[in-house]
Amino acid sequence: MGELEGKVSLITGSSSGIGAECARALAAAGARVVVNSSSSIAAGEAVASELPGGAFYIQGDISDPSQCRNLVGSVVERCGRLDVLVNNAGWTTRVPHTDLEALTDEILLKTFEVNVHGTWWMSKAAMPALTESEGCIVNITSIAGLRPVGSSVAYGMAKAALNMLTIDLAKHFGPVRVNAVAPGLVATPWTSDWDDSHAAIAALVPAKRSATPEDCARAVMACVTNTYMTGAIVKVDGGTTLVL
């Protein structure tokens, strides 16, 4: 019997990358896993189909508050409970930090709608069920919320907001535990063509490589399984913040 046997976990943006690895790790620990994505339906269904324990897929766009409510409601209706919410879904695009004109209003708004508003709406919708189960939230943030690095100024602003949201929810909504995992650069399908960035990180940081989705999933599992851990921002950056 796994450590999370009988628990129900929902991971947003889990059709690939960090989210998919979190789904695999949670399922391996015995949880029933709900996979989600906004548009990559076939990929999400494929991830769910490979998992044990009655895993299934639900499509939903977290940048829409009504879809967030429906997503959480569907999980609770089908499973009877919700114990773990991993707010992984996010969006970014590369914009030079020094180019103010290139950071358009559209990019700024979309970055916040998905990364900040979506995480807030999901957390708000899930809080009643998580309170009942004394469950937990894990937000996937970034060291861009701690240092002026990352794909854009907007991305750093959004991730800093998520770090503060994590701490605020942890303080005021116990016994629900709320933590964040803040990766450095991660080798995912999203960053597969960021060769210059991966090379720069490998040359600079003590770990001599970018993070993997598995690295991040292990940190998420620590946040889920350590029941005396809340309000923490866990860096998974190979020492990036030591040198930047």
Residues annotated as catalytic (active site), given as ranges: 155
**How far apart are the C-alpha atoms of 102 and 39, rounded to whole Å?**
26
Of 131, 226, 147, the closest CA to residue 185 belongs to 147
**How far apart are the C-alpha atoms of 126 and 103, rounded to whole Å?**
32
Cβ pair 11, 33 in contact under 8 A: yes
Q: 148-173: string of b/e by CB count within 10 Å (b at 16+)? A: ebbbbbbbbbbbbbbbebbbebbeeb
Strands 233-236 and 56-59: what pairing? unpaired
Side chain identity, residue 180: A
Q: 35-68: string of b/e by CB count within 10 Å (b at 16+)? A: bbbbebeebbeebbeebebebbbbbbbbbbeebb
**How far apart are the C-alpha atoms of 209 and 184, rounded to whole Å?**
10
Of 72, 84, 69, the closest CA to residue 6 belongs to 84
Token pair 């063509």 in the structure block, residue: 193
Peptide bond into 65 cis (omega under 30): no
